Structure 1
Amino acid sequence: VALNKNAACIIIAHNHPSNDPAPSNEDINVTKKISTLGKAMNIPLLDHLVITDSGYVSMKQLNVFTSFESNEKKGGDNNEKKQLH
């Protein structure tokens, strides 16, 4: 959709019905894939939000992006789960 609509950037969000806002490994992997595709299309992924009844978590604020972006520069793959503080 972002490419078809000539979007300048992407922000994605989804809910966790469990009410645990911690990003899962799959959430982090999807974020990494969308970020990589966005970069290839010159449409940066700005954030991925996990929404619950009690609030939300920003993967950008949790430094999830920094974690896998710095790991990409090293040529590795980072699948570790980020913990909330």
Structure 2
Amino acid sequence: MNTPAPHTPARHSSRAGLPGRQGLYDPAFEHDACGVAFVVDMHGRQSHDMVLKGLQCLYNLDHRGATGAEVNTGDGAGMLT
């Protein structure tokens, strides 16, 4: 395994725009997906603002059809508090 030293910037992979393998990231696992959003307060404080930010993240997934188009199935979009 050829892993760069922590202070050495990783080389870009052959796929345009993707960084090279580094830490827990490996471009070999890239595929078509929207992503995941995490909203946290680094000090563990609870607030309604966190819920609002989480709802905004779900709203941002509207482009992938996360609108309940099928009444008997889900698309996996949701919020865990």
TM over 0.5: no
**Bigger radius of gyration:** 2
Higher normalized helix content (fraction of residues)? 1
Higher strand share: 1
TM norm structure 2? 0.30
Q: Which has the higher contact order (CA 8 A, sep 6+)?
A: 1
